[in-house]
């Protein structure tokens, strides 16, 4: 492991901390401290009156279901969100789609710092297990949203704020257990404010699970350490956090209809035949990766109008996945044929590892000016990424002339990114306010060496993107508010796209029209959106040889939808939080190859884009300290490809969960004990939330003709399962 050097970035700043001067006495107030922390993400977030479609979740809401499942599952009941898991139960590799866009097109920031991998553009929450336990709040902006750092938001942007500085000292011990031998244990602490200015806080976590799918086990460890200094006008935070994951691979899914019906937990990964002809499974077919983040965040308020924020970041990632491969050609690994007993040997069984070793540096600086009329933020962001990709054979039945740790392929990717933006909200009068946002994003991406397919990849691309956004908000009265916004976004291809020969960036014009209604007992948010794409990088349905989804430019396409979510207090102790998303998602004049010819299919459905997504949370508190939650999720049918093939269709599903939370605060020496339970899929539905679809041309079965053959694979999700846990707070 390389030595870790910390460098840079300047992130999101903001607003004044308060319109009043903060005295030392007020600094000790927890509300003031929390407000200072929120300033750290104000540049990438929007407020309640902004003309941007968004949802918020705070620590209290997250804690109810935080029993070991990853961050995407905490967002499952927000509008237009669909989640899925390789292992089937929300632990290990988990994924999120928003408005039909996969995680590689959802911009994610942690304290204003980009989390998406610079090359793959994906977000791998398995590398930050139990990060939910260190999240103070999060905001999900659907559509283009406001300008943020990192790759453009093509379905949504998600920004997370880590734990706020605590005024009081505390300690917590949390344990949970559940189905598939799942268990999570963590400890948290804070010193509280020492001498009114200093705090040290931290967390250690471990999560293990066998997974619903055979051998889809997870062994996850993570940590979080925070040192903070707070003064009247200053907040400085130094953060170190990260995770270690070892997960048994389960990316193959199921293609066999019989197994899908009768053996839906079957996992073909790691399968091989031993010398006696017996089927075996390699016991170490694992993904093993470590990721560490170092952040320095500094917010400074100069007076009642001006404040700045500077953030520095260094992220180190290193790891591999291991595979047992049968009858591999010597040529693939640079081996020379060998003579054994008079026979020429040029194939071998072997075990290989494919490595990724990367470093990400970032710096972000923002300035904010605010008065009664205008709220202005301007900032700059710079990042540098370098990633080494290489493979090595660690064992071979016939190793030829190879040496241990020889690299059979090796390549590198480097990415520089510079972003400058300015945005402002101008209050025209008591009813009208205007929002404007202009971002310039400038990229350079270079690759060298060869890929795992032993193909040279030499890319040198420069991109310059100008992304304007604007909106209006109209407050008709205390209860009704209307907004309209327009936003443009551009997004560069990923490394996988380049390997497929795709170099064209995608473009998006996003139009949002919304209504917000709020009374004491009822809140309703409704919006209509039209997302008009050019060269949208839609999922093709196919996977590469490591289970990663492949994409294709679809030419012209669009998403048109209606989203409604509400919070309704039915009774004093009963509330419901329903949401509904209806949409049509189309490729325009989609061209594909069929039976050896190019065919224009006209308008087709965009892959993995259900036209109906609905959810509801019904919460009932029969007594003050007991809360019962009944959670429902419906996802309509969807296609896994873009050609409307029935073979690519995923059926709709309707899932219901039961959540119970009880707080006990009468024990001596303990502040409180929070008991929680979660029964997932209580009606034992056998459903599938994800899969893949592929086609290939068969010109052997019927010589002289080319026939397109279609196939599909599926990722079954867990039937009824449970998690129970308790948090002891001191």
Provide CB contacts within 8 A for 194, sequence distance 6+. 200
Q: What are phi and psi of 333, to 5 degrees?
A: -110, 10
CB 200, CB 226: distance < 8 Å: yes
* Average per-residue pLDDT for the chain: 92
pLDDT greater than 60 at residue 7: no
Got the DSSP string for 65-85?
T-SS--HHHHTTTSTTEEEEE
Pairing of strands 649-650, 612-623: unpaired
Place of tokens 């898991």: 85
Residue 32: predicted pLDDT: 59
More confident residue, 661 or 22: 661
Contact 49, 433 (CB under 8 A): yes
pLDDT tens profile 360-388? 999 999 999 999 999 999 999 999 999 99
Residue ranges of alpha helices (H) inside 18-77 are 24-27, 30-38, 59-63, 71-74
Structure confidence at residue 404 (pLDDT): 84
pLDDT at 9: 30
Residue 48 scores a pLDDT above 60: yes
Is the pLDDT score of 12 beyond 90?
no
Residue 31 has a pLDDT of 55
Asked if the structure places residue 1 within a domain, the reply is: no
In a domain, 6, yes or no: no
> Using an 8 Å Cβ cutoff, are 614 and 581 in contact?
yes
Check residue 594 and give its pLDDT: 86
Q: Please check the confidence at residue 14 and state whether its pLDDT lies above 70.
A: no
What is the rounded average pLDDT of the residues 334-351? 91
Q: Is 9 domain-assigned?
A: no
Spatial distance between the Cα atoms of 302 and 316, rounded to a whole number of angstroms? 34
pLDDT over 60 at 544, yes or no: yes
**What percent of the chain is predicted at pLDDT more than 70?**
95
Return the bridge partners of 173, or none. Answer: 187, 728
Residue 375's pLDDT is 95
Position 457 scores a pLDDT of 96
Determine the average pLDDT of the residues in 570-575.
96
Q: Return the percent helix, strand and coil in the chain, to nearest 5.
A: 10, 60, 35
Residue 277: partners with Cβ closer than 8 Å, 6 or more residues away: none
Classify 190 in phi/psi space as left (phi over 0), alpha (psi -120 to 50) or beta.
beta
Compute the average pLDDT of residues 292-308: 94
* Rounded average pLDDT over 249-265: 93
pLDDT digits (tens, 9 = 90+) for 593-643: 888 888 999 999 999 999 999 999 999 999 999 999 999 999 999 999 999
- CA dist., res. 482 & res. 432, Å (int): 10
3-state secondary structure at position 423: strand
Nearest-angstrom CA–CA distance, 189 and 186: 10
The pLDDT score that the predictor gives to residue 170 is 97
Residue 76 resides in a domain: yes
Rounded Cα gap, residues 47 and 306, in angstroms: 19
Q: Which domain holds residue 274?
A: 24-729
Higher pLDDT, 42 or 139: 139
Question: Could you give the dihedral angle defined by the CA atoms of residues 424, 427, 431 and 432, in that order, rounded to the nearest 10 degrees?
Answer: -50
Residue 339's φ and ψ, nearest 5 degrees, are: -100, 125
User: How far is Cα 205 from Cα 42, in angstroms, rounded to an integer?
Assistant: 29
- The reported pLDDT for the residue numbered 545 is 79
3-state class (DSSP) for residue 259: helix
Residue of 717, 649, 709 whose CA lies nearest to 688: 717
User: Which pTM value belongs to this model?
Assistant: 0.92
Average pLDDT over residues 465-477: 97
Please give the radius of gyration of the chain, using alpha carbons only, rounded to the nearest integer: 26
Residue whose pair of structure tokens reads 């209307």 in the numeric block: 482
**pLDDT confidence of residue 4:** 35
User: Of 147-161, 614-628, 674-688, where does mean pLDDT reach its minimum?
Assistant: 147-161
Higher pLDDT among residues 22 and 77, named by residue: 77
Pairing assessment for the beta strands 556-571 and 597-600 based on DSSP bridges = unpaired
Q: In this structure, is residue 2 part of a structural domain?
A: no
pLDDT digits (tens, 9 = 90+) for 272-283: 999 899 999 999
CB 192, CB 146: distance < 8 Å? no
pLDDT band of 11, cuts 50, 70, 90: very low
* For residue 16, pLDDT beyond 60: no
Structure tokens at 363: 């710096």
CATH of the domain at 45: 2.40.170.20
* Number of domains the chain contains: 1
Using a 10 angstrom Cβ sphere, with 0-12 exposed, 13-18 middle and 19 or more buried, the burial of residue 194 is exposed
Q: Is 126 helix (H, G, I), strand (E, B) or coil?
A: helix
pLDDT class for 306, splitting at 50, 70, 90?
very high
Residue 19 within any structural domain of the chain: no
b (16+ CB within 10 A) / e for 370-400: beeeebbbbbebbbbbbbbbbbbbeebebbb
pLDDT band for position 27 (cuts 50, 70, 90): very low
The first and second tokens of residue 443, run together, are 């990229």
**Residue 8 within any structural domain of the chain:** no
Region 241-250 average pLDDT: 97
pLDDT at position 79, please?
97
pLDDT at 622: 96
Q: Which long-range contacts (CB under 8 A, 24 or more apart) does 69-72 make?
A: 69/94, 69/723, 70/94, 70/125, 70/126, 70/129, 70/132, 71/125, 71/128, 71/131, 71/132, 71/135, 71/160, 72/96, 72/103, 72/125
- As a whole number of angstroms, the distance between CA 9 and CA 112 comes to 10
Task: State CA 99 to chain mean position distance.
Answer: 14
């Amino acid at each position: 492991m390389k030595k870790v050097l910390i460098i840079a970035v300047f992130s999101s700043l903001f607003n004044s901390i308060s319109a009043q001067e903060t005295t030392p006495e007020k600094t000790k107030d927890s509300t003031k401290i929390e407000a200072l922390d929120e300033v750290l993400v104000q540049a990438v977030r929007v407020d309640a009156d902004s003309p941007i479609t968004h949802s918020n979740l705070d620590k209290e809401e997250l804690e109810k279901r935080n029993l070991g499942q990853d961050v995407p599952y905490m967002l499952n009941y927000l509008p237009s969100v669909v989640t899925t898991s390789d292992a089937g139960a929300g632990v290990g590799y988990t994924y999120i789609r928003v408005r039909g866009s996969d995680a590689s097109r959802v911009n994610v920031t942690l304290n204003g710092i980009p989390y998406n991998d610079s090359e793959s553009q994906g977000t791998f929450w398995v590398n930050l297990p139990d990060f939910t336990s260190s999240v103070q709040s999060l905001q999900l902006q659907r559509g283009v949203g406001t300008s943020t750092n990192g790759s453009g938001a093509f379905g949504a942007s998600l920004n997370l704020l880590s734990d706020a500085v605590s005024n009081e000292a505390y300690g917590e011990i949390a344990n949970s257990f559940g189905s598939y031998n799942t268990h999570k244990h963590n400890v948290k602490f804070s010193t509280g404010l020492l001498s009114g200015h200093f705090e040290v806080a931290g967390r250690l976590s471990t999560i293990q699970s066998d997974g619903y799918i055979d051998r889809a086990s997870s062994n996850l460890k993570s940590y979080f350490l925070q040192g903070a200094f707070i003064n009247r006008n200053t907040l400085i935070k130094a953060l170190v956090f990260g995770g270690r994951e070892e997960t048994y691979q389960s990316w193959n899914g199921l293609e066999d209809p019989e197994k899908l019906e009768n053996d839906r937990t079957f996992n073909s990964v790691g399968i091989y035949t031993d010398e006696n002809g017996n089927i075996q499974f390699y016991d170490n077919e694992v993904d093993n990766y470590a990721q560490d983040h170092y952040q320095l965040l500094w917010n400074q308020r100069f007076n009642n109008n001006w404040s700045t924020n500077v953030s520095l970041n260094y992220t180190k990632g290193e790891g591999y996945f291991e595979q047992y491969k049968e009858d591999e050609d010597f040529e693939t690994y640079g081996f020379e044929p060998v003579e054994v007993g008079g026979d020429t040997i040029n194939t071998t069984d072997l075990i290989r590892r494919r490595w990724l070793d990367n470093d990400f540096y970032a710096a972000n600086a923002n300035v904010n000016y605010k008065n009664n009329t205008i709220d202005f933020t301007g900032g700059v962001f710079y990042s540098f990424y370098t990633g080494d990709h290489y493979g090595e054979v660690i064992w071979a039945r016939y190793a030829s002339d190879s040496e241990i740790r020889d690299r059979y392929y090796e390549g590198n990717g480097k990415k520089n990114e510079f972003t400058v933006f300015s945005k402002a909200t101008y209050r025209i009068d008591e009813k009208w306010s205007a929002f404007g946002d202009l971002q310039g994003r400038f990229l350079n991406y270079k690759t060298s060496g060869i890929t795992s397919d032993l193909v040279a990849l030499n890319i040198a691309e420069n991109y310059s993107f100008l992304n304007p956004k604007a909106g209006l908000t109209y407050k008709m009265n205390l209860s009704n508010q209307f907004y309209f916004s327009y936003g443009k976004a551009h997004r560069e291809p990923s490394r996988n796209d380049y390997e497929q020969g795709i170099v064209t960036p995608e473009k998006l014009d996003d139009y949002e029209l919304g209504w917000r209604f709020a009374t004491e007992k009822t809140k309703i948010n409704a919006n209509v959106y039209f997302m008009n794409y050019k060269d949208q990088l839609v999922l093709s349905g196919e996977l590469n040889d490591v289970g990663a989804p492949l994409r294709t430019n679809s030419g012209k396409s669009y998403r048109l939808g209606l989203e409604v979510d509400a919070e309704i207090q039915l009774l004093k102790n009963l509330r419901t939080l329903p949401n509904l998303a209806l949409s049509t998602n189309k490729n325009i004049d989609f061209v594909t190859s069929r039976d050896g010819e190019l065919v224009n299919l006209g308008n087709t459905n965009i892959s993995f884009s259900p036209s109906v997504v609905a959810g509801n949370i019904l919460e009932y508190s029969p007594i003050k300290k007991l809360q019962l939650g009944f959670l429902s999720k419906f996802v309509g049918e969807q296609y896994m490809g873009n050609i409307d093939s029935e073979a690519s269709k995923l059926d709709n599903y309707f899932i219901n969960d039961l959540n119970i939370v009880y707080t006990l605060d009468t024990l001596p020496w303990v502040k409180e004990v929070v008991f929680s339970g979660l029964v997932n899929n209580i009606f034992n539905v056998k459903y599938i939330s994800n899969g893949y679809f592929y086609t290939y041309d068969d010109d052997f079965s019927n010589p002289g003709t080319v026939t397109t053959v279609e196939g599909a694979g599926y990722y079954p999700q867990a039937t009824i399962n449970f998690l129970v846990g308790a948090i002891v707070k001191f």
